[in-house]
Amino acid sequence: MIAYATTRHAAVAMTRQMAADCGHENNALCPGFIDTPFNAGFERQMRGRVGLQRDIAEAIPMRRFGTVEEIAEALVYLASDRSAFMTGHALAIDGGECL
Amino acid sequence: MLLEHCVAFVTGAASGIGAAGTRAMAREGARVVVTDRDGAGAEAIRAAGGQAEALALDVTDTAALRAAIAATAERHGRLDVLHSHAGVQVDGKLEAVTVEQLDLSRRLNLRAHFVAAQAAVGPMRRQGGAASSPPPRTGACNTTAR
């Protein structure tokens, strides 16, 4: 996942710099494994669906995929006044994957 | 509702997380401009999403992305939320990934966020501080990856 990880981490760095440059709210939302077709690449790298599910069971403390609705809740938070004093942040919603 | 009177611009909105985020913001009262390379998919989300608009948009087309954001701010008189969501997941380790795949990842996962934020920040700055509306915000959708 070198192309993916490299560009995503660069986007987090850019998010922080944009927040510093502009002074308005600018954040990155970082979903963990959500069960959508977007994972097709990683699924191939893990040699199929079974490999992907095994990886999730072993590597993620909550031992499951997240849902698109769980990510949408975080998006509404970032898009609304509820996060008015938060900027330059990378908000991980990932079942503990990054722990 | 949390996003009443807000105008939101979303890329990669026709499926998965982008579609769910679009539906959630519309449910909270936002007027959402639903964009995706898959124009028909964007239209389907728009049709189900309250006061939304749909647009076919490839975020690697710099001129088209800039024009779409400018037109949104112009048409609605404001832009409150940019959700730059479109991206690509290229699999493979160092020896398997081609330079062309790295460039595709860079164009979608980094450059398009830059272009979109740059296009949005002008209109957002001009409306900053308007009474009865939240301050504008931009954001990229990202993923921590191993």
The nearest alpha carbon in chain A to B142 belongs to A30
Report yes or no on A86 lying in a domain.
yes
Nearest residue in A to B100, CA atom:
A3
Task: Give pLDDT tens digits along chain B (146 positions).
Answer: 999 989 999 999 999 999 999 999 999 999 999 999 999 888 888 888 767 899 999 999 999 999 999 999 999 999 999 999 999 999 899 999 999 999 999 999 999 999 999 999 999 988 864 433 445 676 665 543 33
* Residue A5, pLDDT above cutoff 60: yes
Domain span at residue B13?
Answer: 7-140
B137 touches chain A (CB under 8 A): yes
Q: Which residue has the higher pLDDT, B48 or A50?
A: A50
Is residue B35 included in any domain, yes or no?
yes
Domain that holds residue A60: 2-93
Whether residue A98 is contained in a domain is answered as: no
ipTM over 0.85: yes
- Asked, for residue A99, whether it belongs to a domain, the answer is no
The 3-class SS string of chain B reads CCCCCCEEEECCCCCHHHHHHHHHHHHCCCEEEEEECCHHHHHHHHHHCCCCEEEECCCCCHHHHHHHHHHHHHHHCCCCEEEECCCCCCCCCCCCCCHHHHHHHHHHHHHHHHHHHHHHHHHHHHHCCCCCCCCCEEEEECCCCC
User: Looking at the domain assignment, is residue B51 inside a domain?
Assistant: yes
End-to-end CA distance of chain A: 19
User: Residue B128 has what pLDDT?
Assistant: 62
> Can you give the pLDDT at residue A43?
82
Nearest by CB to residue B142, choosing from A12, A44, A59, is A12
Could you identify the residue written with the tokens 């449910």? B27
Please name the residue of chain A whose CA is at the shortest distance from the CA of residue B7: A79
Q: Name the token pair of A72.
A: 């949408």
Helices and strands counted in chain B (H then E): 5, 5
* CATH at residue A75: 3.40.50.720
Cβ-Cβ contacts under 8 Å, B107 against chain A? none
Q: Check which CATH number belongs to the domain holding B41 and give it.
A: 3.40.50.720
Is B125 domain-assigned?
A: yes
- If one counts the domains in chain B, the total is 1
pLDDT value of residue A28: 95
pLDDT for res B136: 64
Total domains in the fold of chain A: 1
Query: Active site includes A4?
Result: yes
Matching residue, tokens 């490839």 = B58
Whether residue B146 is contained in a domain is answered as: no
Is B50 among the domain residues? yes
Query: Residue A14: inside a domain, yes or no?
Result: yes
Q: Report the pLDDT averaged over residues A24-32.
A: 93
Q: Output the pLDDT for position B140.
A: 62
pLDDT value for B99: 98
Q: Give a yes or no: residue B68 inside a domain.
A: yes
Q: Say if B105 is an interface residue toward chain A (CB within 8 Å).
A: yes
Residue B77 CA, distance from chain mean position? 18
Is residue A15 one of the residues assigned to a domain?
yes
Q: What mean pLDDT, rounded, does chain A reach?
A: 91
